[in-house]
Amino acid sequence: MGCDFWKRALYLHAITREEDSLMNIRLPLLIGFFVLLYFPFIPAYLCAGQNPAQYPATMVARDEKSSGAGEDPKPSPNPAVEEFEKEKLLKLKRSVGRRLITVPTTNPTYFYESPDAFERKLSLKTEKEAFVIKDVVQDRLGSKNFYQVKFDSGGVGFLDADGNNLEIEIKRGNLISLDKPVSSNRKSSNQSRALASQAVELVKNHPTPTDSATGNKRSVEMRMIEEKERFFPNLKWRYEAKEIGRNRYRITQNVREGAGPPLIRTWIVDLSTNDVNPENLAAKEMYR
């Protein structure tokens, strides 16, 4: 039994020495592996023992340039977004010149002292303050739009303009428009008069044959002026326009000289094509 004990002891001692020798071999190998792994990241001037301050500036610049090569370039502006913002600003500017008045309510409209100071609300002198919208401005960051308003009392304030806020405040009853509404009938009447006037001008400026005596080109109106100057000093005439269809007018010229019966000339004018055509015989005679 004693012999077995010493045999086992000698066997364990041999195994321990073998493992120690393996550890002695592995440790240098692991140190060498980590040195090789880290070596590519060591700057060249450190390996050469140089001072970083003496390292060539061109090398440093190259390193900085290469480090930023992978960065994303500054995004270019989106044309669709720019067009949207432009149309939005034009829409807001249509309210410039409008006159409104504040109304005392439980949740009144807020005006600000500056576009960049939401915490500083403007204190109105009275509950009812009339004002006019003078301009559309933005905050310092360009992220919000405001109406710059001037009160009749002399103060200046800024009203939130985004999200149709002005129309919302009017619907809530916090603001009342002081502008006189233009009825649709008045708009259509004004438009009809403008179109009729345009048709009359086309007849007045319509060219007739050149004067054989002077060689001058003469419009319908110029022919009438020459007739008055040469032959009929009491000659008077006027034009009337009557709509006969969509963008089509009959223009009548009433001509009088003294107490005699009037001479009637008529033209058909198409405003969609600016065509002028003499209709009756008296008008056609001017082109012969």
pLDDT tens digits along 160-194: 999 889 999 999 999 999 987 656 666 577 788 88
Q: What is the pLDDT, as a whole number, of residue 45?
A: 46
Could you tell me the CA-to-CA distances from 184 to 35, 94, 181, 188, 189 in Å, in that order? 88, 19, 9, 6, 8
Average pLDDT over residues 81-85: 79
Q: What is the pLDDT of residues 7-57, one digit of tens each?
A: 565 555 555 555 555 555 555 665 665 555 555 555 554 444 555 455 454
255-267 confidence digits (pLDDT tens) = 998 887 899 999 9
Does the pTM exceed 0.75? no
Task: Decide if pLDDT at 67 tops 70.
Answer: no
Confidence at residue 59, expressed as pLDDT on a 0 to 100 scale: 47
What per-residue confidence (pLDDT) applies to 180?
77
Q: Report the range of poorest mean pLDDT among 80-89, 93-102, 161-170.
A: 80-89
pLDDT for residue 280 is more than 90: yes
Query: Quick one: pLDDT band at residue 77, thresholds 50, 70, 90?
Result: low
Q: Each residue of 49-58: pLDDT tens digit?
A: 555 455 454 4
More confident residue, 91 or 45: 91
pLDDT of residue 4: 59
The tokens for 214 are 């002077």
pLDDT > 70? residue 68: no
- Is residue 237 within 8 A of residue 255, CB to CB? The reply is yes
Contacts of 224 (CB under 8 A, 6+ apart): 235, 237, 255
Looking at residue 207, what is its pLDDT?
92
Q: What are the C-alpha distances in Å from 201 to residues 106, 192, 221, 243, 251?
A: 57, 14, 9, 15, 10
Report the pLDDT value the prediction gives residue 28, as an integer from 0 to 100: 60
What whole-number distance in Å separates Cα of residue 27 and Cα of residue 29?
A: 5
pLDDT band at 61 (very low <50, low <70, confident <90, very high): very low
H runs (alpha helix) in the chain: 2-38, 44-47, 57-67, 79-93, 165-172, 184-204, 220-230, 281-284
Let me know if 159 is exposed, middle or buried by CB neighbors in 10 A (0-12, 13-18, 19+).
Answer: buried
pLDDT of residue 3 exceeding 80, the answer is no
Burial category of 85 from C-beta neighbours within 10 Å (exposed 0-12, middle 13-18, buried 19 and up): middle
Contact 137, 148 (CB under 8 A): yes
Residues in the chain: 288
User: Which residues face 138 on adjacent strands?
Assistant: 145
71 phi/psi in degrees, rounded to 5:
-75, 145
User: Which comes out higher in pLDDT, residue 254 or 89?
Assistant: 254
In DSSP terms, 235 is beta-bridged to 257
**Whole-number Å distance between alpha carbons of 138 and 122:** 17
| 89 pLDDT higher than 70 | yes
CA-wise closest residue to 259 among 286, 234, 230: 234
Spatial distance between the Cα atoms of 204 and 219, rounded to a whole number of angstroms:
7
> What percentage of residues in the chain have a pLDDT greater than 70?
71
Give me the amino acid identity at 238: R
Q: How far is Cα 43 from Cα 25, in angstroms, rounded to an integer?
A: 30
Which range among 213-217, 222-226, 268-272 shows the weakest confidence by mean pLDDT?
A: 213-217
- 263's enclosing H/E stretch is strand 263-270
Position 60 scores a pLDDT of 44
79 pLDDT more than 90: no
CA 188, 190, 193, 199 torsion: positive or negative?
negative
Q: What is the mean pLDDT of the chain?
A: 79
